[in-house]
Amino acid sequence: MGNEEYAWIHIVALLCFCDSSASQLSYSVSEEANKGTVVGNIVKDLHLDVQYLETRALRIVSSYSKKYFDVNLRTGNLFVDERIDREEICANTPQCSLRIQAVLSNPMNVHRIEVSVIDLNDNSPEFIEQSHSLNISESMSPGERFLLPIAVDADIGSNSVKTYKLSHNEYFSLDVQSGGEHGVSAELLLQKALDREKQQVLKLILTAVDGGNPARSGTLQIHVNVTDANDNTPVFNKSLYKIRVRENIAHGTVIIKLNATDLDEGMNSKIMYSFIKRGNTDPSNMFDLNSGTGEITVKGTLDYEETSAYEVRVQATDQGIYPRSAHAKLLIEIIDVNDNAPEISVTSLMTPVKEDAELGTIVALVTVSDTDGGNNGVTNCKVVGSAPFKLKSNYKNEYSLVVNGPLDRENTSLYNVTITATDEGSPPLSSIRVITVEVSDVNDNAPRFMEPVINVYVKENSAIGSVISTINAFDPDLDNNAKLTYRLLENYPKNIPVSSVVNINSETGDIVSLQSFNYEELKTFHGGTPESVA
Ligand SMILES: *[C@@H]1O[C@H](CO)[C@@H](O)[C@H](O)[C@H]1NC(C)=O
């Protein structure tokens, strides 16, 4: 009860003492009744005579600031004069009545009138807040409960909140309890575990319904934010990554980007990549894995000859408090690259070679090497062009360059023998080497006179010692093999020794007369051959 009420009782008590004939009337009226609504007839109920109402100055008084009621002096009807709002008058009190007095003068009489105000269901249940947020982890088990805000309804009794309802959903039911301090309340009851990865926010509507007829209701938006639990393992987008990498790939080249995803969020989905060391093979010697991006780069020098393939295990781990990991296999196949041309080296050169060298005579030793592997390193070597030489294989990549045809220095004294070596790579690489072979002279040519017979005409009586002719012979050989000396063959034409008639300069071939020729004595004579000095 409010203080106002105590005060009122006090006043009435005083009035009662002054006039013992005062009596009490009771009426009831529905709140919100229209102005003019008749509550009761005072005159009748007090057994007064309508005729005297004016002379006795009947009036209604009260301690309220509002004049809720008035009386019709002609009929004696007490009627509603101003809007009556039960909730305004008796905010939280279930029983609600207005106390007024009907006052008469001459003689003075005061009659207490109590008008109970009947509640109408004119208020809907209301929630203080418009929406309510709840954070619920997806790791919560069914059976967990979550308290919800209550609705208030200014009406009383059956017109106040009677129950709650929850919008249809697959995760929660509503547990409504009554009889608590605040009347009816409700809790969310988890029926089925939430799954953030399926639905991150659930929007529910809580409806509070009162017991009026018709019932009124109020709603509250409920936002359930499903918080993440690390309940998902990362997943690689392939279980086996296969790549082929050329052996000459530059250091730092990205060869593949791993990609794993995790359905969780935040740190629970942040993925770090790493190599898994197995046995004593450590992939990080050759490759670098960026733990954040998953990019794998080449770190070492790949060599097909040394390792033609790598099998690497990789791992993706999320950064949850209880991390989860996935792993995958990575096959890196190394492709041999034909990046080296064969190399031809001449290990020894036996030149010059004599022009009379036999077929098969070794002129040079040649070695071919190719640092590539496989077919890229298999070489074939041959002489190109028409030189009288060929290559003879000795062992694997070792060859002899041998004479393969007749040589003739007088014809060709120097050969540029071109050798090519080609590997079986695709595309093939080749190289060329020119070996210069000198042919040395052999005295295989006799000197030759230009003409078989040289006729010299000498005037008779020519001076003694004059050059009457010069003999010229030729030898195609070289140096000493071609160096000629001349001499006369001793003979005796007409019994005169030739040497007594002419002399020959052994070096120049000049023939000098040793006497005056007498035509009559010696018409002709002949003789002499040059000879070469080896
Ligand atoms: C896997 O992820 C990588 C890197 O994002 C991408 O290049 C590749 O296409 C993906 N593979 C598949 C099968 O989705």
- pTM for the model stands at 0.59
Q: Please name the residue that has the structure tokens 């209550």.
A: 150
Cα(83)–Cα(77) distance, integer angstroms: 17
The DSSP string of 387-410 is -SEEEEEEETTEEEEEE-S---TT
Q: Which of 163, 164, 183, 298 lies closest to 243, judged by CA? A: 298
Tell whether ligand 1 has an atom less than 6 A from the beta carbon of residue 526.
no
> Ligand 1 atom closest to Cα of 294?
4
Whether 32 and 84 have beta carbons less than 8 Å apart is answered as yes
Cα(337)–Cα(494) distance, integer angstroms: 91
> Ligand 1 atom closest to Cα of 257?
4
- Ligand 1 midpoint to CA 343 (Å): 43
Residue 332 predicted with pLDDT over 90 = yes
Count other Cβ atoms within 10 Å, centred on residue 212.
Answer: 22
What pLDDT digit, counting tens, does each position of 225-272 carry?
Answer: 999 999 999 999 999 999 999 988 999 999 999 999 999 999 999 999
Q: Please name the residue that has the structure tokens 């019709």.
A: 72
- Ligand 1 midpoint to CA 259 (Å): 6
SS3 527: coil
User: CB neighbours of 172 closer than 8 A, spacing ≥ 6?
Assistant: 166, 188, 189, 190, 191, 202, 204, 224
Average pLDDT, the chain: 88
Residue 321 predicted with pLDDT over 60 = yes
Tell me phi and psi for residue 288, to 5 degrees: -120, 130
What pLDDT digit, counting tens, does each position of 99-144 carry?
Answer: 999 999 988 989 999 999 999 999 999 999 999 999 999 999 999 9
Q: Regarding predicted confidence, which is higher, 72 or 451?
A: 72
Question: Given this model, what pLDDT does residue 351 score?
Answer: 81
Q: Regarding predicted confidence, which is higher, 406 or 515?
A: 406
Q: Regarding predicted confidence, which is higher, 190 or 280?
A: 190
The DSSP string of 329-343 is EEEEEEEP------E
What pLDDT digit, counting tens, does each position of 450-506 carry?
Answer: 777 777 777 777 778 888 888 888 888 888 888 888 887 777 666 777 777 788 888
Whether 167 and 208 have beta carbons less than 8 Å apart is answered as no
Q: Which domains can be identified in the chain, with CATH numbers? A: 24-118 (2.60.40.60), 131-227 (2.60.40.60), 235-335 (2.60.40.60), 343-440 (2.60.40.60), 446-533 (2.60.40.60)
What pLDDT digit, counting tens, does each position of 335-384 carry?
Answer: 988 888 999 999 888 889 999 999 999 999 999 999 888 888 899 999 99
Q: Whose CA is nearest to atom 7 of ligand 1?
A: 257
Cα(309)–Cα(445) distance, integer angstroms: 68
Burial of 252 (0-12, 13-18, 19+ CB in 10 A): exposed
Residue among 236, 239, 240, 259 to mutate when testing ligand 1 (max atoms within 8 A of CB): 259
Cα(297)–Cα(299) distance, integer angstroms: 6
Q: Which of 419, 425, 423 lies closest to 400, judged by CA? A: 419
Whether omega for the bond prior to residue 107 falls within 30 degrees of 0, making it cis, is yes
Residue 526 predicted with pLDDT over 70 = no
Q: Whose CA is nearest to atom 2 of ligand 1?
A: 259
- Ligand 1 midpoint to CA 237 (Å): 6
Whether 418 and 451 have beta carbons less than 8 Å apart is answered as no
Backbone torsion region of residue 353, taken as left when φ is above 0, otherwise alpha when ψ lies between -120 and 50, otherwise beta: beta
Tell whether ligand 1 has an atom less than 6 A from the beta carbon of residue 257.
yes
- Ligand 1 midpoint to CA 293 (Å): 13
Tell whether ligand 1 has an atom less than 6 A from the beta carbon of residue 242.
no
Mean pLDDT of 174-182: 84
Tell whether ligand 1 has an atom less than 6 A from the beta carbon of residue 237.
yes
**What residues are paired with 271 via a beta bridge?**
318
Whether omega for the bond prior to residue 428 falls within 30 degrees of 0, making it cis, is no
Q: Which two tokens stand for residue 279?
A: 């046995």
Tell whether ligand 1 has an atom less than 6 A from the beta carbon of residue 116.
no
User: CB neighbours of 5 closer than 8 A, spacing ≥ 6?
Assistant: none
- Ligand 1 midpoint to CA 307 (Å): 27
Whether 532 and 482 have beta carbons less than 8 Å apart is answered as yes
Question: Given this model, what pLDDT does residue 388 score?
Answer: 93
Identify the sign of the CA torsion 488, 492, 496, 497.
positive
Question: Given this model, what pLDDT does residue 10 score?
Answer: 41
Residue 2 predicted with pLDDT over 70 = no
Q: Which of 368, 366, 367, 401 lies closest to 387, judged by CA? A: 401
Whether 271 and 260 have beta carbons less than 8 Å apart is answered as yes
Alpha helices in 237-316 (DSSP H): none
**Residue ranges of E strands in 154-216:** 161-166, 172-180, 183-190, 201-210
Q: Regarding predicted confidence, which is higher, 94 or 424?
A: 424
Whether omega for the bond prior to residue 352 falls within 30 degrees of 0, making it cis, is yes
- Ligand 1 midpoint to CA 262 (Å): 15
Question: Given this model, what pLDDT does residue 522 score?
Answer: 64
Tell whether ligand 1 has an atom less than 6 A from the beta carbon of residue 238.
yes
Cα(384)–Cα(421) distance, integer angstroms: 10
**What residues are paired with 235 via a beta bridge?**
261
Least confident span in 286-300, 366-380, 405-419, 442-456: 442-456
Tell whether ligand 1 has an atom less than 6 A from the beta carbon of residue 30.
no
> Ligand 1 atom closest to Cα of 259?
2
Q: Regarding predicted confidence, which is higher, 295 or 375?
A: 295
Q: Regarding predicted confidence, which is higher, 22 or 1?
A: 22
Q: Whose CA is nearest to atom 12 of ligand 1?
A: 237
pLDDT band at 296 (very low <50, low <70, confident <90, very high): very high
Identify the sign of the CA torsion 213, 214, 218, 224.
positive
Whether 40 and 27 have beta carbons less than 8 Å apart is answered as yes
- Ligand 1 midpoint to CA 328 (Å): 13
pLDDT band at 527 (very low <50, low <70, confident <90, very high): low
Question: Given this model, what pLDDT does residue 22 score?
Answer: 52
Cα(301)–Cα(334) distance, integer angstroms: 11
Count other Cβ atoms within 10 Å, centred on residue 42.
Answer: 24
Tell whether ligand 1 has an atom less than 6 A from the beta carbon of residue 459.
no
Question: Given this model, what pLDDT does residue 8 score?
Answer: 42
Q: Whose CA is nearest to atom 10 of ligand 1?
A: 237
Cα(150)–Cα(362) distance, integer angstroms: 113
pLDDT band at 13 (very low <50, low <70, confident <90, very high): very low
Question: Given this model, what pLDDT does residue 371 score?
Answer: 85
Cα(67)–Cα(518) distance, integer angstroms: 195
Cα(333)–Cα(242) distance, integer angstroms: 8
Length of the chain measured in residues: 534
Q: Please name the residue that has the structure tokens 């991390």.
A: 323
- Ligand 1 midpoint to CA 256 (Å): 9
Mean pLDDT of 70-95: 91
Identify the sign of the CA torsion 156, 158, 163, 165.
negative
Question: Given this model, what pLDDT does residue 363 score?
Answer: 94
DSSP secondary structure letter of residue 281? B
Residue among 236, 237, 238, 239 to mutate when testing ligand 1 (max atoms within 8 A of CB): 237
Residue 17 predicted with pLDDT over 80 = no
By percentage, how much of the chain surpasses pLDDT 70? 91
Tell whether ligand 1 has an atom less than 6 A from the beta carbon of residue 259.
yes
Cα(77)–Cα(61) distance, integer angstroms: 15
Q: Regarding predicted confidence, which is higher, 516 or 90?
A: 90
Cα(380)–Cα(187) distance, integer angstroms: 90
Burial of 168 (0-12, 13-18, 19+ CB in 10 A): exposed
> Ligand 1 atom closest to Cα of 237?
1
- Position 17, amino acid: F
